[in-house]
Amino acid sequence: MSKDIKSDHKHLTLSDRIYIEQALIRGDNFRMIAQALGKDPTTISLEIRRFLEWNDGLYARDGVNDCAHYSSCDVEYLCGLCELPCKNCLSNKCTKLCPSYDPIICEDLKSPPYVCNGCRIQETCQATHYYYRAEEAQKRYKALLSESREGINMTEEQLKELDDFISPLISNGQPLSHIFSVYGDKLPCSRKTIYNYLDMGLFTVKNVDLPRRVRYKLRKKRRGENPVKYAYRNRRTYKDFLSYTEAFPEYEVVEMDTVKGSRDAGKCLMTLLFRKSSFMLIFLLPSCTQASVKAVFDMLYEKLGPIVFRKTFRIILTDNGPEFKDPWSIEKTPDGKRRSRVFYCDPYKSNQKGRLEKNHEFIRYIIPKGRSMHDLTEETVRLMTCHINSVARDGLNGKCPFDLAKLLLSEKALTRLGLQQVSPDEVILKPALLKK
* Statement: residue 401 has pLDDT above 90: yes
Mean confidence (pLDDT) of the chain: 83
Task: Please tell me the predicted confidence (pLDDT) of residue 47.
Answer: 93
Structure confidence at residue 263 (pLDDT):
67
- Please give the pLDDT value at position 271: 96
88-92, 115-119, 124-128, 144-148: the lowest-pLDDT one: 88-92
pTM of the model: 0.54
pLDDT digits (tens, 9 = 90+) for 335-367: 888 899 999 999 888 899 999 999 999 999 899
pLDDT score for 61: 47
CB 94 within 8 Å of CB 78:
yes
Q: What pLDDT, on a 0 to 100 scale, did the predictor assign at position 62?
A: 47
Beta bridge pairs of residue 274? 254, 279
Question: What pLDDT digit, counting tens, does each position of 26-72 carry?
Answer: 889 999 999 989 899 999 999 999 998 875 433 344 455 667 777 77
Contact 345, 254 (CB under 8 A): no
pLDDT at 125: 75
Report the residue count for the chain: 436
**What is the reported pLDDT for 239?**
93
Tell me the pLDDT band of 119, cut-offs 50, 70 and 90: confident
**pLDDT tens track for 68-117:** 777 778 777 777 666 667 766 666 666 667 777 777 777 788 888 888 88
| Residue 217: predicted pLDDT | 57
Model pLDDT for residues 152-170, shown as the tens digit of each residue = 777 888 888 888 998 888 8
Q: Where are the domains of the chain?
A: 14-66+103-146, 156-215, 232-435
Check: CATH 3.30.420.10 for 232-435? yes
User: How would you label 217-241 residue by residue, b for 16+ Cβ within 10 Å and e otherwise?
Assistant: eeeeeeeeeeeeebbbbbebebeeb
pLDDT in tens, 163-220: 899 888 888 878 887 888 778 888 888 888 888 888 888 888 887 777 666 555 555 5
